[in-house]
Chains A and B, each alone.
Chain A
Amino acid sequence: MMARINSAKELQAYRDEVVKKVKAAGKKEVAVCCGTGCQAYGAKDVVAAFQEEIKKQGLGDKVEIKPTGCHGFCERGTLVLMHPEKQLYQRVQPEAVAEIVEKTIKNGEIIEEHLYDNPTTGEKHKLESEIPFYANQKRLILSNNGEIDPTSIDDYIAHGGYLGLAKSIEMGAEKTIEEVKAAKLRGRGGGGFPAGIKWEMAAKQEADQKYIICNADEGDPGAFMDRSILEGNPLAVIEGMTIAALATGADTAYVYVRYEYPLAIERLNIALGQAREMGFLGENILGSGKNFDVKINKGGGAFVCGEETALIRSIEGRTGIPKPKPPFPAESGVFGKPTNINNVETYANVPGILREGAKWFTSMGTENSSGTKIFSLVGKVNNTGLVEVEMGMKLRDIVFDIGGGVPNGRKFKAVQTGGPSGGCLPESKLDLKVDFDSLTSEGSMMGSGGMIVMDDQTCMVDVCKYFLGFLKFESCGNCTTCREGLRRLHELVSQICDGKGDENTIPLIEELCETVQKGSLCALGTTGVNPVLSTLKYFRDEYEAHIKDKKCPAGVCKELITYEVTDACTGCLVCKKRCPENCISGEKKQKHVIDTDKCIKCGICMDACKFDAIRIY
């Protein structure tokens, strides 16, 4: 049974006690990343191996194995971070654990092979902070993921948890909202609307019931920022929501979270249970006289339900179809009651703002975009993972310094930000500062923070087709402009990919884009044309090559490419044997030939060839 905390004073005393206990125990903490990515690598087996080994070596009272949330460097999982020095071992397998315990944990000896080896410099880095991937980040939110056991509220409190709430209660509702406004915290879900203004609007409403919603319906392909926060530090989000609730006068909250995030839901449930037991949720929170509790609502996985009005309808048990604004959710939200809705990352920023003050928060970032932003850096980039950077960092620094550039010596071509309805920015825009306004001004957007790097083997027309295909499928289908418009845009772009475009195709696409953009109700339609417009703006020559020359310069669009055997062929027969269509002929030690009429362009021959003797033209 956990103690109930009834006031800020009791919280402070409890925290001191927890910190003292941890200090007295003097245990060495070993944090094993158990984010979804590392779990896929077998992180749970690593944890089990550690626990067994610690027991075997009788180190139970000296070492604590901590399964934590995502550390971000997914490319190198399973990650093992050893506190307090913060030595990082990467790609740890259960078999390596015995040696790590024996050598490193017991004797402080470093095992070279588990260290991160910098592919650019060849250097090996001992500490997490030395690795460029981490060194160039500003991890306000994510740093706790490597420190906190997400299933322990004591751990959260020891790391400053609930001090923000205590401070907010002391300040009162009005001053809390002023503080969030002064911090210029903008919505991390994509819209970038100032959170403080939303809160103020909801607080002003007179109603018998108000709600808080946390939007955890992270639907962008390749994005996992919110999932990682919920998995790694769920109480930060819950504390943020509690502060928002007490400030706006709400007593009930919904976390609208994807059904596909079982671990996040599990961790949320554990966190909610502990927070209730300790009186951080429920009645008379920290002696404030105010009540608040949180319910979890699992979403069915419709992308459009990330749009706040569609999300609200979904919570109400109806089909997720957006509604016009105004009225804004702050005026009339879930069940017609004033509702404050923010995204996971936005709430996760709130406790820090209250604890450290708005000035501290605005000292980071740019004039109009303060603080940090988490991105999921994926695609053709060496260091795939979750990164948190100060707003205003250049795209180039994110892709090359943190991301380590493009793998296999390929050339950088574009970076796509903002999820499926974001835009693709070319190399010439790499010096763009990443904040809400700069990205929008260049035809892309911040979105919820997806960042996909593309190399020269990526066809931008094909990329555009992919995103349109996603969007036409995920549109709710209510507005004709979005339902039919995206369907036809997808058809037209597909025609180009198939070599069936003509001189009228691009003008028609542009004409249609205007109507989809101006004529649709919600952001899915109005920004759904971004993939088309941004690729047309920056990669028009590639479209034209498809249309005029009937060629796909990147060698992707199947209808426009031909596979050919070059003179480098040694006649080894491998491609001939692998070809599923039996369309390669040639004798041993003689140059082979591909029958292009029968070839289905699967590329198996090219992958199989050890002599680089098959090319696309």
Chain B
Amino acid sequence: MTVEITINGVKAKAEKGESLLEVIRKYGFDVPSLCHHHAVEPCGSCRVCLVSVTDNGRTKLAASCNYKVREGLDITTDSEEIRRNRAMVLELMLAESNAPAIQKLAAEYGVTSSRFETEESKALAAERDGCILCGLCVRVCEEVVEVAALNFKGRGDKRDVGTPYQETPQNCIACGACAYVCPTDCIGFVEENGVRKLKKWNRELPILKDDAGRPVGPQFQLFYFTQKAGLPADFYKKGGGPAR
């Protein structure tokens, strides 16, 4: 069902239930976000996509990524209040993450250092390699790759992302989708000496070469693909797949 909403005074059309953030961007307005990717369910974790929403006569700030569009919403994407609160979110993030991407976005909001930084917070940031617990890796692994090798553990300030029992996930196919969507580049995806590594998950898989001697991909990953797509077991070995 198509509904009509207003974004910064501009009338916009959208499908009911669509992600508000995506509609805003479709109409050319800029709203930052770190935990959103169109391929997966939004989860509203990072909170930098805060916008002002007037719904049914009530105005409040809300994360736009997981706000489902409804008829009559009136949206403001930029104001002093919005910038102030986004800046505070980024300052909080800056204390838990040393990732360049976070520093860059924070600087755009005038935040170059965090008043919340302590020795402890620095140690935690170093331990996490800049991860902001946005959960994109978890969602892409479950929803797109359908492997679900990753998940969150703990809650509150003890929340963390990882693999079951903190052990090497045996079902991880090292496809690298997690590294691809990660906004802080903290997974550590490398290929060297015929091995693909995902450092954060401690997963290493040897890369298969086809009959012509060309590297194709991790053996286990190709096995997963052939199974899933019902291809012959030697499909990739025989040079199948996209032209290389």
Contact = CB atoms under 8 A, between A and B. Distances in A.
Interface of A: 302, 304, 319, 323-324, 326-327, 471-481, 483-488, 491, 504, 508, 511-512, 514-515, 518-521
B216 interface: no
A488 B61 contact: no
A472 B154 CA distance: 12
Nearest to A492: B116
B67 interface: yes
B143 to A, nearest CB: 14
Nearest to B87: A515
Given A324-B67, A326-B68, A473 B116 contact: no
B88 A512 contact: yes
Given A477-B152, A481-B47, 7 more contacts: A471-B156, A473-B155, A476-B155, A476-B159, A477-B159, A480-B46, A484-B157
Nearest to A480: B47
The 7 nearest A-B residue pairs measured at CB: A477-B159, A515-B88, A484-B92, A475-B156, A487-B157, A518-B61, A488-B116
A251 B223 CA distance: 46
A478 B62 contact: no
B188 to A, nearest CB: 23
A264 B62 CA distance: 38
B130 interface: no
A473 B158 contact: yes
B50 interface: yes
Given A476-B155, A519-B47, A514 B118 contact: no
A474 B156 contact: yes
A514 B44 CA distance: 18
A478 B45 contact: yes
Nearest to A475: B156
Contact of A479 (B44, B118, B154, B157): B44
B4 to A, nearest CB: 17
B95 A476 contact: no
Of the four ranges (under 10, 10 to 19, 20 to 34, 35 or more), the interface on chain B belongs to 35 or more
Given A324-B67, A473-B158, A491-B118, A480 B45 contact: yes
A518 B83 CA distance: 13
Contacts of B93: 480, 484
B182 interface: no
B85 A514 contact: yes
A491 B43 CA distance: 27
Given A475-B155, A479-B44, A519 B89 contact: yes
Contact of A324 (B68, B84, B96, B152): B68
17 contacts: A473-B156, A476-B156, A476-B159, A477-B158, A479-B44, A480-B92, A481-B47, A481-B89, A483-B156, A484-B93, A484-B96, A487-B157, A504-B115, A515-B92, A519-B63, A519-B85, A519-B89
B184 interface: no
What DSSP secondary structure best describes chain A's contact surface? Answer: helix
B182 to A, nearest CB: 16
A485 B89 CA distance: 8
B198 interface: no
Interface in B14-62: 43-47, 50, 60-62
A323 B118 CA distance: 32
Contacts of A521: 44, 63
A474 to B, nearest CB: 6
A485 B68 CA distance: 25
Given A481-B89, A491-B118, A511-B88, A519 B45 contact: no
A380 B126 CA distance: 44
B132 interface: yes
Nearest to B50: A519
A304 B115 CA distance: 28
A596 B81 CA distance: 49
B43 A478 contact: yes
Contacts of B158: 473, 477
Contacts of B70: 326
A421 B132 CA distance: 25
Contacts of A518: 50, 60-61, 85
Nearest to A505: B115
A486 B44 contact: no
B140 interface: no
Interface centre among A477, A479, A504, A511, by most B CB within 10 Å? A477
Contacts of B47: 479-481, 519-520
Contacts of B149: none
A386 B152 CA distance: 38
B156 A491 contact: no
B61 A519 contact: yes
A185 B154 CA distance: 37
Contacts of A484: 92-93, 95-96, 116, 157
Contacts of A304: 155
Nearest to A322: B44
B87 to A, nearest CB: 9
B187 interface: no
A469 to B, nearest CB: 10
B157 A472 contact: yes
A486 B116 CA distance: 12
B7 interface: no
Nearest to A515: B88
A467 to B, nearest CB: 13
Contacts of B132: 480
Contacts of B135: 478
A324 B155 contact: no
B46 A477 contact: no
Given A478-B44, A479-B44, A324 B85 contact: no
A531 to B, nearest CB: 16
Nearest to B120: A491
Nearest to A518: B61
A480 B92 CA distance: 8
B133 interface: yes
A326 B66 CA distance: 11
Contacts of A319: 152
Nearest to B90: A480
A181 B96 CA distance: 48
A374 B157 CA distance: 32
A153 to B, nearest CB: 39
A475 B60 CA distance: 21
Give the interface centre of B44, B50, B96, B159 by most chain A CB atoms within 10 Å: B44
Nearest to B52: A518
A48 to B, nearest CB: 42
B159 A483 contact: yes
Nearest to A521: B44
A238 B84 CA distance: 48
A349 to B, nearest CB: 28
Nearest to A487: B157
